[in-house]
Structure 1
Amino acid sequence: MKTGVELDSFDQALLTEVQRDNQAPARLLAERVGLSDSAVLRRLRRLRQAGVILADVAVVHPAVLGRPLTLHVLVSLEREGSALLDAFTRKLRGREEVRQAWYVTGEADFVLLLNLASMEAYEAFTREVFLDDPNVRGFRTIVAMREVVGPAHRR
């Protein structure tokens, strides 16, 4: 996001609405935030151009895609030099199982959100991504039993 983007109360209200449903028509958004349709469209265009709105996406249920298993993984690296971090990041970006990944502070270096078909698929993933990488010191896996708050629960 570009620095210095000023957000007023209308922008904040508009962002709240499009996070719930980014396909709501401008007329409905305008009604909800107290602006005209054209003002809503101008603001959305400005927020996209400024990098405030990063993407307009569809959140698809992982089970429909054959990946009902959701895992969160904490990954610790041996070393964190720029080249090593970039290499690990590239590796993660190349894996379709990785839905999201964050470089973090604390006990782990990365937090990953994975969707996989099975524990067997996760074992193969761990071998290829973690165990075969000499810079991965270790990883901890958290298995999600069910989602209690998420995009489907916000409407």
Structure 2
Amino acid sequence: MILDPVDLRLLEHLQKNGQATAQELGEVLHLSASQAGRRRQKLEETGVIHHYAARLDPAKLGLSVQAFVQVQLDRHGAEHGASFARLLKTRPEITSAWTMTGEADYLLRVYCPDLASLNRLIHEVLLANPVVSRVHSQIVMDQPKADAPLPLG
């Protein structure tokens, strides 16, 4: 799908405010509400926009420890990777995961209520998995730049 400058402005606005109405989008884009709504619908139908979500404040929900955890597997192969991916889906404290190049096979973003919970996740879940050989964690001290919208321009 080819995106024109109006589509890009619409996407920029929706990344900042996913609840924007067609009327609000029309005002920002200098279009009628129906034109703006049709453009948004087209972007949704083609999968450019794949979902909307609320951003929550982890600290206000009692999740005071954020960490990035690197996981190195002992064995590789489709079966082992699939087994580890299934484990990731069962753990709500692992909010995102990436497969990586380099020494670590996976990078996990984790939110826990306290250090004891993080310790249990690392030792009783990750290191207890037979395909995991090494885990390296880094606790987030501060986030000077919040998760930002994708660069579109």
Q: Same fold (TM over 0.5)?
A: yes
Shift of 1:128: 2.8
Pair 1:80–1:41, CA change in 2 (3 A): farther
Aligned to 1:137: 133
Shift of 1:33: 2.4
Structural mapping, 1:53-64, within 5 Å: 53-64=49-60
1:74 equivalenced with 2:52 (yes/no) = no
Structural mapping, 1:94-105, within 5 Å: 94-105=90-101
Q: How far apart, CA to CA, are the structure 2 residues paired with 1:107 and 1:37?
A: 51
Shift of 1:130: 1.5
1:125 equivalenced with 2:121 (yes/no) = yes
How large is the RMSD of aligned CA atoms in angstroms? 1.7
Question: Which of 26, 41, 60 is the equivalent residue of 1:45?
Answer: 41
Compute the TM-score of the two structures, normalised by the length of structure 2: 0.88
Compute the TM-score of the two structures, normalised by the length of structure 1: 0.87
Q: How far apart, CA to CA, are the structure 1 residues paired with 2:4 and 2:101?
A: 31
Shift of 1:114: 0.6
Q: Show structure 1 runs of 4+ deviating over 6 A.
A: none
Q: How far apart, CA to CA, are the structure 2 residues paired with 1:46 and 1:85?
A: 35
Shift of 1:132: 0.6
Residues 122, 135 of structure 2: 8 Å contact kept: no
Shift of 1:67: 0.9
Give the count of matched residue pairs. Answer: 149
